[in-house]
Structure 1
Amino acid sequence: MSSVLNALGAPFRRLLGTDKPTVTVVELQGPIGIEARPGRGLSAYSVESSLKKAFRRKSSKAVVLAINSPGGAPAQARMIMERARGLALEKQIPCISYIEDVGASGGYLIALAGEEILADPFAIVGSIGVVSAGFGFHDAIAKIGVERRVHTAGEKKLRLDPFMPEKPEDAEKLETILDETHRIFIDLVKTHRGDRLKGDESEIFSGDFFLAGKGEELGLVDGVGDLRQILKSRYGTDVKIKVITAQRAGLLGKLGAQIMGGLVDAVAVRLKNDGLNARLGR
């Protein structure tokens, strides 16, 4: 059918209503983490199918990344950003990032994939920083009479253990990692935003978050407005907007995940990883 329409030429396609400009919108919603699955948060794995499908549409005037994420795992955010940017270059399709409610921290990092970043007037943007949070339980377990037994090989293996008093050297180690992570984040923003950044860097990279209007003043955002109205003003009032939404896992996928989960007893490892990720702000 498409070959027949192509043979008829553009005037006939317009007459039939099949020659309308098309923009593909990919929804990127939720916190970012390695264990995210399609429809349940964001990871490089969970968004791969949606991104490939969006950039496969050669007729699209542009691909819009509709971002709504407070952040999460920095490595996953960087990989999503690089994948989207790479596909845009490979397929020669313009990529636009649009921040809906929030594009903060890792969510903003993903937005760097766009050649431009647009946002809803009420959107929260920025938060270019790194956070570490945790708890100390050593007094609590002493009061309830719990004896903890841990055996390790490697003198630094038990750093930042929440069941032991925090050591100054461990806190210093963590701060070094946070500072390095922050520096990498800043470098990515500077690389992708370039001379569009305005204002004092101490404010832009303080870890603070801003409404979209302030983000535009600082150069974190290129424009503020309603996405549909922006697309209509650029591509015409008859522009067709194709939305790609990540699908949740079906019944077989859920059963498979449950079966695989039952094969591995990783409770202790999971708790340790969760504790470390929480301290690293992931």
Structure 2
Amino acid sequence: MRKAVSAIVWMVLATSLAGCAFVNVPLVPPPQPLEEQVLEGKGRKKILMLDISGTISELEKSGGLLGRATPSMVSMIRESLQKAEQDKDLAGVILRINSPGGTVTASDIIHHDIGVFRQRTHLPVKACIMSTGASGGYYIAAAADEIVAHPTAIVGSIGVIMMKFNVEGLMGKIGIEEQTVKSGDKKDIMSPFRRATPEEVRLGQEIIDQLYGRFLEVIMARPGNKLSRDELVKLADGRIYTARQALEARLIDRTGYLDDVIADLKTTIGDQDARVVSYYRPGNYKGSIYAGSEAKEGLAEVFGGGVDLLSNSRFMYLWRP
């Protein structure tokens, strides 16, 4: 009897499998569109909280062996602004900044996108610097109508830096020799396998000076700027400032907490019970206005990660203590 039952079970399984199509279920689900999450408030109007957190980069962050890659900060901000522009209930935006800066291009793209958003929507945009708003982080803050910094925030580091490694001595010690065939003597400029020549340093400095000039122009053009160019140049030597020092230097408009910025924006839009919202991808829950951001590119990701860290010299709006 037991053998007969077993035979019937196997026949049923065989028949079922013969008529089934196998479904390919990916181990890592594809990224989902951004969704809105209410952090506080119940009013009709909305205030969007946008995170500028971590090192600013146009490169996506690797998800490892089984995880999925995280979109770059540039991509995340562009997608968020496009979604926000379609929301008729949106009444204002807060840039929650906690960043030492990052690449020149990523900082500039985000600054540009925020400026375009302001022009198209005519909505108020305020920047709130939390712990750090240095270099590229401050560059992005300059796109806002007003810059507010927490009393304990670090602000400034206005300038440009390019870093490179010189591993020539190390390679000689372990018996490795690098040989490059090139079309011109500047083709391998800033190579990590030799010391830079004085002319290469001069050429690099010329580029840095132009990018530095652009940084100054961005600050001069910010809505709340009260500095002359000469006054700004004296402040923009790469140093960092406390929030109080930055206020006295007129690099920021005032000091305060994130709650203060939210309250002021609610008054501006005329809705004291306005909803404070953020955007997230399914699986990335945020429980309050102080919840962490989704993507935090590290310095290794900015340079390309891994071994590429030795072979990439990039121009940075970055404070790197």
TM-score by length of 1: 0.76
Distance 1:136 1:70, change over 3 A: same
Q: Is 1:200 equivalent to 2:250 in the alignment?
A: no
Give the corresponding residue for 1:33: 57
1:77-127, Cα deviation, whole Å (9 max, x unpaired) = 111111111112212211111111111111111111211111111111111
Instruction: Say which SS state the counterpart of residue 118 (structure 1) adopts.
Output: strand
Structure-2 separation of matches of 1:19 and 1:242: 11
Instruction: State how far apart, in whole Å, the 1-side matches of 2:279 and 2:117 are.
Output: 16
- Residues 20, 271 of structure 1: alpha-carbon distance in 2 compared, 3 angstrom cutoff: closer
Larger helix proportion, structure 1 or 2?
1
Paired residue type of 1:148: E
Moved more, 183-192 or 235-244: 235-244
Q: Matches of 1:276 and 1:136 in 2, distance apart?
A: 11
Q: Structure 1: which 5+ runs fail to align?
A: 1-16, 250-265
Candidates 279, 283, 302, aligned match of 1:244: 279
Q: TM-score, normalised by structure 2?
A: 0.68
Counterpart mapping for 1:1-282 below 5 A: 19=43, 21-36=45-60, 42-193=72-223, 195-197=225-227, 200-235=231-266, 237-245=272-280, 271=308, 274-277=311-314
Q: Residues 125 and 275 of structure 1: is their aligned pair in 2 closer, same or farther, counting only changes over 3 Å?
A: same
Deviation for aligned residue 1:274: 4.6
The residue type paired with residue 25 of structure 1 is M
Are the aligned partners of 1:131 and 1:178 in contact in 2 as well (CA < 8 Å)? yes
Pairwise CA distance, 1:139: 2.2
Letter in 1 for 2:180: V
Give identity over the alignment, percent. 26
**Deviations 1:4-33 (CA, angstroms, capped at 9, x unpaired):** xxxxxxxxxxxxx96454322112212111
Instruction: Provide the residue aligned with 2:9 in structure 1.
Output: none
For the residue of structure 2 that corresponds to 1:100, the secondary structure is: strand
Long gaps (5+) in structure 2: 1-40, 62-67, 285-303
Please state whether the residue corresponding to 1:67 is helix, strand or coil. strand
Q: CA deviation at 1:72?
A: 0.8
Instruction: Name the amino acid aligned to 1:240.
Output: R
Deviations 1:230-275 (A, max 9, x none): 32255265342112346789xxxxxxxxxxxxxxxx999x838852
Corresponding residue pairs, total: 248
Partner AA of 1:207 in structure 2: G
CA distance in 1, matches of 2:86, 2:107: 22
Alignment CA distance shift 1:18-1:144 (3 Å): closer
Query: Which fold has the larger relative contact order, with Cα–Cα distance below 8 Å and residues 6 or more apart in sequence?
Result: 2
Q: Report deviation, 1:59.
A: 2.1
**Relative to structure 1, is the Cα distance of residues 216 and 119 closer, same or farther in structure 2, using a 3 angstrom cutoff?**
same
**CA–CA separation in structure 1 for the residues paired with 2:43 and 2:200:** 62
Superposed displacement of residue 71, structure 1: 0.6
